[in-house]
Chains A and B, each alone.
Chain A
């Protein structure tokens, strides 16, 4: 049991949400989806068994960047897009820490795209939470790399020209070993996905659809509104046929070309449905699922798309280096400096 250091007559008290909540006033806009995610993370942390002083949050710039100030852990609010690089330096040199990156769609997919893909391919032991609101919030409403093409914003009064990124497909293309998606207000499901992410050895990439009620309100209504979510939320569960709908009446099947299609279960029979397998080495199914909904406006899969084991970046190196370091001192240093060919000039 992890405790908060306080005791009750000799028995350590278990940690609570309070142990992970800082005293700083939360300054997101009222109604922002970030509040729900923050509350979920603060509640989840005590469960993970890592004390707050060994937990570190690293963020970039944007509304999501402020996350770090509200967690009573160690934290670094970095620079725009660079959080994965900062977190990499910390995580590899301190494998005893639990390192979390919180980022947004502009931060991680635009200015920080390079750092994100390289963290993923290296499989650095960090958890990356991408709060995707499909808009630039902190800079007051420009289109983001996940905004739909044609989006009218302050910087694109005639509609944007850019084709958007599909964050999960991008992560899978970058060889990510853990890829998942959740929706901000679905707190139990966010917690479940983050729990799985925390357990993953290596980089865990979690996209969280997050509503920006000021600049892009309603972007995820298909998955957030009580009525529509019944029809649209495709909850992925390992080992189970992929089906959804109010009565579980719809499902996902493979087309002959390998792509996926949504069908009525009654038309194809239960056995025809695709069985979800996030641990499959081949990322084809995960990739096809990432493309099942090009925009989260209709039926959209959420949950863990991929979770495969691959050695984390520089795994085991830390122990080796620490051991080496402990065995060197002045003598070894002198030996190093004098290495190679040397000669002596005698005193006369």
Chain B
């Protein structure tokens, strides 16, 4: 189903519609088909205006079996359309899904427009007689039949999908032909059958001029890291341990040897972080990624990075926790972990991407800060950003600023001495890589003497170094531009968000305004340090509302930092906010 969803997405993007997607699948690889926990869903929202979320309530639900109907019916808008594969509504499947009667027949779906399509039968017929195709292969292509049917319903171009299948299955002509036949059969069925009365046509969305592609957060993060490697001239060493949903980044980056990207699959999360520190010491751009469970394990090494003051980037693709939690579901639960999840006073900069395409800019910003300030930087994304996609306007590569590694080449002390912890105007220390004559030095996790870097247990030195490390991170704020506020005169309520809740927040704000109410919104990209003007901004509103997919983490930081009565709206269901939930929350705050 994920494949059918991503093909439909690509065809939609090619058409110039704006879109947002929400893949929703079980953690099990081949969870038993027909069971409620085995349902794999793909939600897409597209329109001829710019859209911000995958949609709260779909207009159309394609249910391949009773379990899919049962788990997704709740989200479908009342009066919406259901396209059901009636062949799959067998007694056995109905029982597995917990139905006592067939919902296609018992009148329980009377509020919806239901189309019963014998997808399995028609798929099997369409794929008969293809050489090398077994009965089970025929059955399997029914999702592609559904894709063809939907492509017709929404006027999606078929060429993109056909080309893709020809390429994807080039080595297996039997499978290729089966898929092509099933796809065409679905499309043709839609076109010819009287059964489907509605034919949707969605016009292209107006967009900024430029060249666009469809991109998900994982690819955008990978592209951003590669761009930063090219722009800094630093070879990238990417080490990670397989973990959902960050493994995709390893897969993506390992394909780019052409850009000198070295990927290493480490023996564990700790080693992945360690390899990155070692590579950074040697003068590489060290990057590791994980999700919450892995970030727990990397904490020790990130702390070493803070002490060594070496550049490194740690990407945390957040998922629902605690512990193993819900590996394939999204959450913003790791902000506190990123901020404070190390022993001792161990500050580091944090940036958070907020749309799939914006992961590109976020990755570059993380590298820029890491290199300039010689520090580990945590880049927060999440499952939703990683997996969902949107049209992305290609940046002008020549306009991406260069990143200067500024390697030390000369001694910086008296009489040719090298002082590894003598700081520059940004409080960053020199990056002197092995192989450089005259700059031999030793660094380590023990507290350093100011400037010389020698081991020191001196009380005042430790106080000084602790302060310097904190001040260095705080100085990053000097470069953060004032927070952009989506402002309306007279607004007394500010909605402040971070990360992937950007879409739902903007959509909710738009809805509130359409109702004639006034509300402002702003979104944080840098979470540590926070922008200089944030405190003053927060205090200029009667109410500040902070929606987060956690139990209220940013809100605590804001309250502690600015003594502001910021108000939390939270959701920990493993799925993004719905625009209508936030709309209601905003309206309530405007009214009181």
Residues of A participating in the B interface, judged by any CB pair closer than 8 Å: 5, 22, 24, 51-54, 56-59, 61, 68-69, 71-79, 82, 84-94, 96-97, 114-115, 118, 314, 317, 320-322, 324-325, 328-330, 332-334, 336-348
Contacts and interface: CB of A to CB of B under 8 A. Distances in A.
Given A76-B308, A85-B274, A89-B275, A97 B300 contact: no
19 contacts: A53-B434, A69-B455, A76-B281, A79-B300, A85-B267, A85-B270, A88-B264, A88-B278, A92-B275, A93-B237, A93-B279, A115-B270, A333-B259, A336-B223, A338-B213, A341-B13, A341-B160, A342-B212, A345-B16
B277 interface: yes
Nearest to B437: A53
A53 B436 contact: yes
B317 interface: no
Given A53-B434, A341-B10, A341-B13, A89 B270 contact: no
B43 interface: no
B266 A74 contact: no
A343 B282 contact: no
List the 4 closest A-B pairs by CB distance, nearest first.
A77-B444, A89-B278, A325-B260, A85-B274
B397 A330 contact: yes
Contacts of B445: 61, 77-79
B106 interface: no
Contacts of A51: 437
A61 to B, nearest CB: 8
A341 B219 CA distance: 14
B260 A317 contact: no
Interface string B241-258: 000000000000000111
Nearest to B260: A325
B443 interface: yes
A94 B276 CA distance: 13
Nearest to B266: A85
A90 B282 contact: yes
Interface residues of B, number: 72
Main secondary structure of the interface of B (DSSP, over half): mixed
A336 B286 contact: no
Contacts of B209: 345-348
A82 B271 contact: yes
A139 B264 CA distance: 34
A27 to B, nearest CB: 9
A92 B264 contact: yes
Contact of B284 (A88, A93, A320, A341): A93
B258 A332 contact: yes
Interface in B216-270: 223, 226-227, 229-230, 235, 237, 239, 256-262, 264, 266-268, 270
A325 B235 contact: yes
A340 B392 CA distance: 12
Nearest to A90: B278
Interface string B460-481: 0000000000000000000000
Contact of B301 (A58, A79, A96): A79
Given A53-B439, A340-B213, A341-B213, A74 B434 contact: yes
Contacts of A334: 394, 397
Contacts of B442: 22, 57, 68-69, 71, 74-77
Contact of A76 (B210, B213, B271, B444): B444
A78 B260 contact: no
Nearest to B213: A342
Given A75-B443, A321-B261, 11 more contacts: A74-B442, A85-B267, A114-B271, A324-B257, A328-B260, A333-B397, A334-B397, A337-B213, A338-B211, A339-B213, A341-B213
Contacts of B300: 79, 82
B398 interface: yes
B210 A328 contact: no
A88 B282 CA distance: 11
B271 A343 contact: no
Interface in B193-215: 207-214
Interface in B50-78: none
A329 B261 CA distance: 14
A89 B397 contact: no
A90 B274 CA distance: 10
Given A73-B440, A79-B301, A344-B210, A321 B434 contact: no
Contacts of B459: none
Given A68-B444, A114-B268, A333-B227, A97 B395 contact: no
B302 to A, nearest CB: 11
- Residue among B212, B271, B274, B394 with the most chain A CB within 10 A? B274
Given A54-B435, A78-B444, A90 B281 contact: yes
Contacts of A96: 435
Contacts of B275: 85-86, 88-89, 92
- Residue among B272, B434, B454, B455 with the most chain A CB within 10 A? B434
Contacts of B436: 53
Contacts of B286: 89
- Residue among A88, A338, A347 with the most chain B CB within 10 A? A88
- Residue among A79, A82, A85 with the most chain B CB within 10 A? A85
B259 A86 contact: no
A82 B239 CA distance: 15
Nearest to A335: B397
A57 B281 CA distance: 12
A192 to B, nearest CB: 27
A74 B440 contact: yes
B212 A115 contact: no
Nearest to B261: A321
Contacts of A58: 278
A334 B443 CA distance: 38
B14 interface: yes
Contact of B274 (A86, A324, A333): A86
Nearest to B268: A114
B446 interface: yes
Contacts of B207: 345
A68 B442 CA distance: 7
B279 A90 contact: yes
A85 B271 CA distance: 5
Contact of A85 (B214, B258, B278, B437): B278
B434 A54 contact: yes
A255 to B, nearest CB: 37
B211 A325 contact: no
Interface string B1-41: 00000000010011010000000000000000000000000
A187 B44 CA distance: 71
B440 A336 contact: no
Contacts of B301: 79, 82
B285 to A, nearest CB: 10
Nearest to B224: A337
Nearest to B442: A75
B13 A82 contact: no
Nearest to A96: B435
B529 interface: no
A97 B440 contact: no
A322 B276 contact: no
B232 to A, nearest CB: 11
Contact of A321 (B210, B257, B277, B446): B257
B283 interface: yes
B441 interface: yes
Nearest to A322: B260
B210 A93 contact: no
